[in-house]
Structure 1
Amino acid sequence: MIIGGTGTFHCLAPRIATRWHGQAGLWYELYTPTASSESAEHGRVDVRIVVTGAHGFIGTAVRSALLRRHDEVLTLGLGGQPGGPRYDGRIDNVYEVEAMAAWLADRRPDGVLHLAGTRSEVSSTLMSELNTCFAASLMEALVLGRLDRVPILLIGSAAEYGHVSSPAPLTEQSPAHPRSHYGQTKLAQTQLGLAAAQRGQPVVAARVFNVLGRGMPSYLSLPSFAGQLRDIAAGRTEAVLRTGPLSAVRDFLPVTVVAEVLADLIRLPAAYGQLVNVCGGRPYLMRDIVNRMIGLSGIAVTLHEMEGESGADIAYGDPSRLKGLLRSAGFGPLRNADIAEVMEDSGCPVAGTDGNRTLLPTWKPQAPRHRACRTADIPAAGSPVHAHTVSPPAEN
């Protein structure tokens, strides 16, 4: 069963392709997206996009990005629980293909941004339904509704690559060996999307790396650390920031930048049928990010870092394909303001960000140091690797 109002505005997917081909914006220090010139000049809706996951972390930013372009946004989602998010179209489960097909055919969207999914602690069955089966049903519904020329973007994850120890950036040709069920279900979605593209559907598989910004789920690492700093500043807990291992290297982009990129990719025919890394190509050591958060908080704390698995954990992407599609020069580095935004969103005080000028240093691989290994050098399982006091300021 699907519930939703009647659509009144109709436009054709090929019109987007004609208007937007080769018109993506140039990136300077930070990416600057384009907007539809006709919409901007005349203030009218000329693109209709269906968005799933529109009330999630990335989905909220994408919805705002589309509205700034004067696009019409229709939301499609699961549920209907009291107090839950409201959707223009609502389904009871991800297998209602015929109902979705009828709803889509009635609205005739110009594109579909499938951003729904989960990485929280849910059952394996539910995770597979949300991260894989929902996409399969949507693509089938487009075909059934005779909308097989309407482009659809599927959001994936860098978790599809699995554990990586090489210091080289990950390309779309890098082998994918996901270790988590989340990564496995996202990889299955990607494979289904690329298979549909081979049959002629315009599918973009956007493999998104780490994203930060307002609205991050509290179970993710950075909001969790910010929450601890908030409680320390309020005197509710001792001045000890407890973390897992911080030796991982990750590739972060602000959610606002990612949202604009996704809004552009759905409009680019050159992206259809492709797997695209959505990443900045700049590796950041998690320990550097946490130290910067401590510095921005303006409080002195003891960083208590726990031991993790042995071996390198490096996952940053090569954005060459993305830059080629959008004819860009690249992304700028993370700024103090990007990290402070996450902290403020978690209620953590920020002493000062130094505007946009202070940048986070990127990680550089170091040659291994050869020395004799002593038993005393090996920490016991579960023991802290680092326990030291970190004081502000954070600026270099």
Structure 2
Amino acid sequence: MRILVTGQRGFVGQHLKDRMKARFPQSEILSSSPDIRDAEAVDTAIAACKPDHCIHLAAISSIGDARQDPNHAWQVNLHGTLHVARSMQRHAPEGTVLFASTAEAYGSTFQRGLPVTENAPLAPGNTYAATKAAADLALGAMAKEGLNVIRMRPFNHTGPGQSVDFVVPAFASQIAHIAKGLQPPEIHVGNLDAQRDFLDVRDVCDAYLDVLMTAPSLERGTILNLCSGQTRSIRSILDDLIAISGIKADIIIDPTRLRPSDTPIARGDATLARSTLGWAPRIPWLQTLDDIYRDSLQQATANGLSL
């Protein structure tokens, strides 16, 4: 397989390349596409390489970044996605486009208190979620016009190498710096009561690769939730990381880390992914946290040496 991965230098992209090399050593990962906001450049690149598949990861993925610069988020997450999809339909119509959407798009639908399935309405509550939901819906319409697209809606996923803009590495980084004596024993946090369904990024990458193997049997426009079916409070994740590290620290609520529209509980149903792909999360959660903490310790050590 010749696979184009947009956003391959990002957090998920790096893990996806590792998993792809391990599972499909004969596959070719094509050079990343140009700035996806440039429709002409994207079209030229895809016309030249004509990939068998395209895994579209490139996005503004931070809720905070999207809120601070919404125009940029819309240009990348919606218009950039359309540039990639249209070029694939034009130059590689038999190829599969796997779109990394997000469960954030369900938004206020989570307030019903039930695990959401793929049929649940999209009701995004922030700019990031809105841009991804718009792209998700647009690709669904293009599927009716012949685009071979599969839409994945993963829930929160984390792992080593993720930016501290996200909650788990943000905790791990602070704890690692405390363990190394690089900051006072205080951990600054936002809302600890929110409950989320967390996955290891490597399990998510395996699901993406499972789709490529199953794509011929999937209906165009298929939507697949990716989740464990188990919610965890943000507080419990902090407690687990503190236990792994063995440190003692004061917990400080930081108003700047509180989101204006935080969903209390986000529950999902991944029955369809299990039945169609045979996929299920395999990496134990405590292993995920341990891997993140070890990575944070390495980063903290490097920061300490550079002081």
The normalised TM-score by structure 1 is 0.68
Quote the Cα distance in structure 1 between the aligned partners of 2:96 and 2:146. Answer: 11
- Matching residue of 1:66: 20
Q: How does 1:272-351 map to 2 (within 5 A)?
A: 272-305=220-253, 313-328=264-279, 330-332=280-282, 334-347=284-297
Quote the Cα distance in structure 1 between the aligned partners of 2:248 and 2:54. Answer: 47
Quote the Cα distance in structure 2 between the aligned partners of 1:203 and 1:226. Answer: 36
Q: Contact conserved, 1:281 with 1:317, CA < 8 A, in 2?
A: yes
1:96 aligns with 2:96: no
- Matching residue of 2:105: 160
CA gap 1:312/1:64 in 2 versus in 1, 3 angstroms: closer
Quote the Cα distance in structure 2 between the aligned partners of 1:192 and 1:138. Answer: 12
Gaps of 5+ in 1: 1-46, 78-89, 350-396
- Matching residue of 1:111: 53
Quote the Cα distance in structure 1 between the aligned partners of 2:263 and 2:144. Answer: 36
Counterpart residue type for residue 339 of structure 1: L
Flag the structure with larger Rg.
Answer: 1
Shift of 1:119: 2.8
Quote the Cα distance in structure 1 between the aligned partners of 2:49 and 2:282. Answer: 38
Shift of 1:175: 1.9
CA gap 1:229/1:311 in 2 versus in 1, 3 angstroms: closer
| Other structure's SS at 2:101 match | strand
Quote the Cα distance in structure 1 between the aligned partners of 2:102 and 2:225. Answer: 9
Counterpart residue type for residue 65 of structure 1: R
Quote the Cα distance in structure 2 between the aligned partners of 1:326 and 1:310. Answer: 33
Quote the Cα distance in structure 2 between the aligned partners of 1:296 and 1:228. Answer: 13
Counterpart residue type for residue 112 of structure 1: C
1:252 aligns with 2:188: no
Shift of 1:248: 0.9
Counterpart residue type for residue 13 of structure 2: G
| Other structure's SS at 2:243 match | helix
Shift of 1:172: 0.9
CA gap 1:127/1:287 in 2 versus in 1, 3 angstroms: same
Shift of 1:261: 0.8
Equivalent of 1:190, from 136, 149, 154?
136
The normalised TM-score by structure 2 is 0.86
Summarize deviations over 1:163-204 as a string: whole Å, max 9, x none. Answer: 433432111111211111000000011011111111121101
Quote the Cα distance in structure 1 between the aligned partners of 2:128 and 2:252. Answer: 28
Counterpart residue type for residue 344 of structure 1: R
Quote the Cα distance in structure 1 between the aligned partners of 2:230 and 2:57. Answer: 24
Shift of 1:336: 1.9
Shift of 1:205: 0.7
Summarize deviations over 1:106-164 as a string: whole Å, max 9, x none. Answer: 3221100010001342521111111111110111112332x222110111111111143
| Other structure's SS at 1:152 match | strand
What is the root-mean-square deviation of aligned Cα atoms in Å? 2.2
CA gap 1:278/1:312 in 2 versus in 1, 3 angstroms: closer
| Other structure's SS at 2:111 match | coil
Q: How does 1:13-28 map to 2 (within 5 A)?
A: none
Quote the Cα distance in structure 2 between the aligned partners of 1:312 and 1:153. Answer: 27
Counterpart residue type for residue 242 of structure 1: H
- Matching residue of 1:270: 217
Shift of 1:333: 7.1
Aligned residues: 287
Q: Contact conserved, 1:204 with 1:266, CA < 8 A, in 2?
A: no
Quote the Cα distance in structure 2 between the aligned partners of 1:299 and 1:76. Answer: 41
Summarize deviations over 1:219-250 as a string: whole Å, max 9, x none. Answer: 11111111211222233433222211111111
Quote the Cα distance in structure 1 between the aligned partners of 2:202 and 2:262. Answer: 33
Equivalent of 2:145, from 199, 212, 236?
199
| Other structure's SS at 1:165 match | helix
Q: Contact conserved, 2:39 with 2:80, CA < 8 A, in 1?
A: no
Counterpart residue type for residue 99 of structure 2: L
Counterpart residue type for residue 108 of structure 1: K
| Other structure's SS at 2:137 match | helix
